[in-house]
Amino acid sequence: MLSYILRRLLFLPVVLFGITILIFMLISTLGPWTRVATFVPSPDAERHVDLEAMIKKYHLDDPPVKMYLRWVNNLLHGNLGWSQSSHMTVTEAIRRRFPATLELTLFSVIPVIIGGIILGVISAVHHNKPIDHTTRIMAIALWSLPDFVLGLAVLMVGFGVLGWFPPGRLSSWAQLEVLKESFRSFTGMYTLDALLNLRLDIFWDALRHIIAPVITLSCLWWAFMLRITRSSMLDVLNQDYVRTARAKGLAEAVVIKKHALSNALIPVTTVAGNMLLGLMGGVVIVETVFNYSGLGLLTSTAATRLDVPCVVGVAIFYATILVLVNLVVDVLYSIIDPRVRLE
């Protein structure tokens, strides 16, 4: 067990090294002017100094290895450069936008897990019955809906026709309230902060804004989870120990809950990492559709304005989180399923 975790931990820096090398190689193809921006902490220096001096100052004519090391050193100190599209340092931009995205992702995980797993189990238990066919067709249909098409449709109906789910993160009155001194910011996630400040009106407003992007973001993964749970559950239900449990006269509900489900959920946990990866990618489009100012909107705006330092900063931030999450998932997985450790 310990050696397994240790092996996984040792692999962590290797992955991060690989990712930074990949990105560094891409950046190296840029001209010195653009590249300078990834090293400068603020644009003031850029305005007054000429190109030659800048290149000298930041040692941009050094051999690649030296440049790479300096860049990584900057990254480790949290200096990700200056973002032109948001007029602040990349680190600051990420720090401000991340809570919004985290909030959106956390809210999206709930319907995915509850809806996907429960329906998956029901579908498998009633294999090839009408309810199985219905949920399956529904899942395929949802899976085929591109997130931006779904997003546009949800916005059109939810805001345009019904007026329930406005775009953005907060209404303007609530935005003003949040910026006041009396409103303490604990996490940056408006729903949670509003509750902690005992402001139900703001909580309600934040909730109304977040529902539409959550629906859009979770639909696809909801369908994905349903498929995985269904096939894993079908597999388990055919196993001998389930037959034994039935043969000794246990009630069907007990067989499913106690014997089948806990084993069927093992493969489901492995895709949790995949799901997070997908959700994090998905926010780029969903946040843009709903004008929800999180990391996704930051990324897409930066990309359309060719703001390289910002996009690169977000990518590295994402990759780091992802590697950590995958590590946690793997360790959890090895705790749940002892067979994994034996590899």
Partner 1 sequence: MEIFRRLVKNRISLFGLILLVLFVLIAIAAPWLAPPKEGSDPYRIPRRGWTLEPTPPSAKYPLGLTQGQYDIYYGIVWGTRTAFRVGIIVISFRALIGIILGSISAYYGGILDEVLMRFTDIFMSFPYLIGVVVFVAIFGPGLNNVMIPLIALGWMPYARMIRGNILAIKQEEYVLAARAIGANDFKIITRHILPNTIFPVLIQASMQIGSIVISVSGLSFLGLGAPEGYADWGQMLSFARNWMLGEQGNVLKYWFTVIYPGLAMVLFVLSWNLIGDAFRDIMDPRIQA
Give the interface with partner 1 as residue ranges (CB under 8 A).
11, 14-15, 18-19, 22-23, 26-27, 29-30, 136-137, 140-141, 143-149, 152-153, 155-156, 159-161, 231, 234-235, 238, 277, 280-282, 284-285, 288-289, 299-300, 302-304, 306-308, 311-312, 314-315, 318-319, 322-323, 326
Nearest to 132 by CA among 50, 216, 230: 230
To partner 1, the closest distance from the beta carbon of 29 in angstroms equals: 7
Of the pair 203, 222, the CB lying nearest partner 1 is at 222
Rounded CA-CA distance 310/62 in Å is: 23
CA quadruple 335, 336, 337, 343: dihedral sign: negative
To partner 1, the closest distance from the beta carbon of 305 in angstroms equals: 9
Of the pair 63, 160, the CB lying nearest partner 1 is at 160
Given a contact cutoff of 8 angstroms between Cβ atoms, the answer to whether 308 and 31 are in contact is: no
Helix axes 308-336, 262-290, angle to 10 degrees: 170
To partner 1, the closest distance from the beta carbon of 199 in angstroms equals: 29
Of the pair 23, 195, the CB lying nearest partner 1 is at 23
Rounded CA-CA distance 221/240 in Å is: 31
To partner 1, the closest distance from the beta carbon of 151 in angstroms equals: 9
β pairing state of 82-83 and 88-89: antiparallel
Of the pair 143, 183, the CB lying nearest partner 1 is at 143
DSSP state letters, 140-158 = HHHHHS-HHHHHHHHHIII
Of the pair 145, 196, the CB lying nearest partner 1 is at 145
Alpha carbon 43 to its chain's center: 30
Given a contact cutoff of 8 angstroms between Cβ atoms, the answer to whether 280 and 298 are in contact is: no
The residue written with tokens 């559950």 in the block is 233
To partner 1, the closest distance from the beta carbon of 54 in angstroms equals: 20
To partner 1, the closest distance from the beta carbon of 78 in angstroms equals: 19
Of the pair 57, 127, the CB lying nearest partner 1 is at 127
The residue written with tokens 């929800």 in the block is 292
Rounded CA-CA distance 318/301 in Å is: 17
Of the pair 37, 113, the CB lying nearest partner 1 is at 37
To partner 1, the closest distance from the beta carbon of 190 in angstroms equals: 24
The residue written with tokens 């085929």 in the block is 144
